[in-house]
Amino acid sequence: MWIWRRGRRRRRAEHKIAARLVTNAILEIRFYAQQGPEHLTRIRELADVVHNLPGGILGGGERGREPYGYHTFRWMWETASAEQRGWLVAQFEPLDYDYSYLERAPSPAPRKPVRRSASTKTVNAATLLTLDPAAAFEIRHADPGAFHILMPRGLDEVSFHPAEPGISEFNCLLRMIDGEIIVVHPRFETALFEALPARPRALRWTTPDRVRTLGPRTTDDQGWPAYHAGISAGLAGDVQTARTRLTQVATATATSPWQVELARRAQDLCGLVVDQPAFRDHIRAVVVEARALLKVDPSVPAHLPF
């Protein structure tokens, strides 16, 4: 009980410190925004270092592994650049916040609980695609020769869609081409699942350490972060920054099919960024296509800058 109360006090204190970090970052961003476009890099660094704070404050994977609040700032610290860490230290010290634990290695995670399910089926990528064509984006990166584990979602798990008669949501342990396993959530008719061949024995499995993305973790100068930063700069009319970011993506070493495709898109955008109308029209078309694949209204909101 004492440890729990101590953890709650620490978490409440970190709520206040996190709020102060966000406040100070916003004030500095507003200051630099008035100084001119030469401060865009500083503005981006400030926005990036604090933008994940609300998720950490409201709760995350640290519960059950460490006392309350242990990892509230760890992700922010470990992904920060040297300049961003310097800014964080400058904020922590006037607040008398002991950030020394951030400079130490995290404690090893405890053994994860084993889940057992007798209602599991194995399917290949082609079968899974016929069951839920809407999951094509993830499935096309799956290992075509592997069998993937499919199981109904539990009653205690959050549903991603409104309930419909005869339609169920599933958890699928999908093995990717590079050997990683991610969890996807297909949705299709319950009768189709029941018609699949049964497994000979119950499945024992543990959840992944974290939700995997389609590829290795990247920094701001790689992969998707640099790609989106280049697009944002292009829409804002900053051609030089847009070209720099997109060129980083286009020339990066590609080891997976999605990285090859991302590099190709970045190379195409490098040639378009000098023509603002063509660049904006292209981005609009990509957004419309993505919204259609997600089965949402394909029309682009009028307030967006393209």
| 161 and 196 co-located in one domain | yes
Query: pLDDT at position 306, please?
Result: 52
Query: Is the separation of the CB atoms in 102 and 73 below 8 Å?
Result: yes
Q: Is 57 helix (H, G, I), strand (E, B) or coil?
A: helix
The number of folded domains in the chain is 3
Q: What's the whole-number mean pLDDT along residues 275-297? A: 82
Q: What's the whole-number mean pLDDT along residues 267-287? A: 88
271 falls within a domain: yes
232 falls within a domain: yes
52 falls within a domain: yes
Backbone angles phi, psi at 151, to 5 degrees: -145, 150
91 falls within a domain: yes
193 falls within a domain: yes
| 120 and 94 co-located in one domain | no
Query: pLDDT at position 255, please?
Result: 74
* Both structure tokens of 87: 């800014």
Q: Is 80 helix (H, G, I), strand (E, B) or coil?
A: coil
Q: What's the whole-number mean pLDDT along residues 283-292? A: 82
Sign of the torsion angle spanned by Cα atoms 293, 266, 39, 37 = negative
* Residue 2 predicted with pLDDT over 70: no
Query: pLDDT at position 3, please?
Result: 42
* Residue 209 predicted with pLDDT over 60: no
| 54 and 120 co-located in one domain | no
Q: What percent of the chain has pLDDT over 90?
A: 10
Q: How confident is the model at residue 69 (pLDDT cuts 50, 70, 90)?
A: very low
Query: Is the separation of the CB atoms in 193 and 152 below 8 Å?
Result: yes
| 56 and 120 co-located in one domain | no
| 158 and 248 co-located in one domain | no
* Residue 134 predicted with pLDDT over 70: yes
Which region among 40-44, 164-168, 222-226 has the lowest average model confidence (pLDDT)? 222-226
* Residue 214 predicted with pLDDT over 60: no
| 99 and 22 co-located in one domain | yes
The residue from 47, 79, 103 where one domain ends is 103
The residue from 151, 172, 205 where one domain ends is 205
Query: pLDDT at position 59, please?
Result: 46
| 99 and 14 co-located in one domain | yes
216 falls within a domain: no
* Residue 63 predicted with pLDDT over 60: no
Query: pLDDT at position 304, please?
Result: 58
* Mean pLDDT value across the chain: 77
Q: Enumerate the H helices of 141-238 as residue ranges.
A: 190-194, 223-235
Query: pLDDT at position 189, please?
Result: 92
The residue from 148, 174, 205 where one domain ends is 205
* Distance of alpha carbon 60 from alpha carbon 19, whole angstroms: 17
The residue segments making up the domain with residue 260 are 223-293
Query: pLDDT at position 9, please?
Result: 66
Confidence (pTM): 0.37
174 falls within a domain: yes
Query: pLDDT at position 218, please?
Result: 46
Query: pLDDT at position 216, please?
Result: 45
* Residue 188 predicted with pLDDT over 70: yes
Query: pLDDT at position 71, please?
Result: 57
In 141-258, the DSSP E strands lie at 148-152, 167-175, 181-184, 187-189, 203-205
Q: How far lies 273's CA from each of 44, 249, 263, in Å? A: 20, 15, 15
| 94 and 162 co-located in one domain | no
The C-alpha angle with vertex 268 and arms to 267 and 274, in degrees rounded to 5, equals 100
| 125 and 183 co-located in one domain | yes
Query: pLDDT at position 205, please?
Result: 57
Q: Which amino acid is at 139?
A: I
| 141 and 177 co-located in one domain | yes
| 70 and 126 co-located in one domain | no
* Residue 116 predicted with pLDDT over 80: no
96 falls within a domain: yes
| 148 and 60 co-located in one domain | no
Residue 239 or 5, more confident: 239
